[in-house]
Structure 1
Amino acid sequence: MEIVTKFLDAVLSLLPRSPFVAFIDAMENLPFLTALNYFIPISTFISIGEAWLVSVGVFYLYSILLRWIRAIS
């Protein structure tokens, strides 16, 4: 397992940094961001969107698998 972790770390180290890091770091210093997040819960929206994307992805993978084994048409 340690070999797999080292290999994946090496592969990820070849990828460039995210271009959004500077924007995210700059947003941390905004004084009104906490008040805005109180009225518009962005983190909740992201969590719900992530759960929705995962469930749709699982549905499509399951559908593709069933079509591949010819269980559904």
Structure 2
Amino acid sequence: MADMQALLNGFLDLLMKAFPTSPFADTIEKFSKLPYLGYINWFVPVSEMVAIGSAWLVAIGVYYLYSIIARWAKLIE
């Protein structure tokens, strides 16, 4: 089991090295140093907005994927 986990970790590490670095890393680092960011997040719940937005995007993506598969299988026109 430990060998499989090490193999999976090695593969994921190699996969992450293949992706480019984020162009927003410097900007995010600057925002994390703002002393009043926590107060802004109290009024504007950014993390909840991101979670709801990503769930919405996944739902729309699943709908379009199902639509494409259904059209391909000629279940709908």
Give the aligned length. Answer: 73
Structure 2 equivalent of residue 41 of structure 1: 45
What TM-score comes out, normalization by structure 1 length?
A: 0.84
CA distance in 1, matches of 2:67, 2:9: 31
Offset, 1:12? 2.9
Q: Quick check: 1:56 aligned with 2:55?
A: no
**Structure 1 outlier segments of 4+, above 4 Å:** 1-5
User: Which runs of 5 or more structure 1 residues have no equivalent in the other structure?
Assistant: none
Structure 2 equivalent of residue 66 of structure 1: 70
What TM-score comes out, normalization by structure 2 length?
A: 0.80
Offset, 1:19? 1.1
Q: Quick check: 1:10 aligned with 2:27?
A: no
User: Which runs of 5 or more structure 2 residues have no equivalent in the other structure?
Assistant: none
Q: Quick check: 1:31 aligned with 2:23?
A: no
Offset, 1:25? 1.2
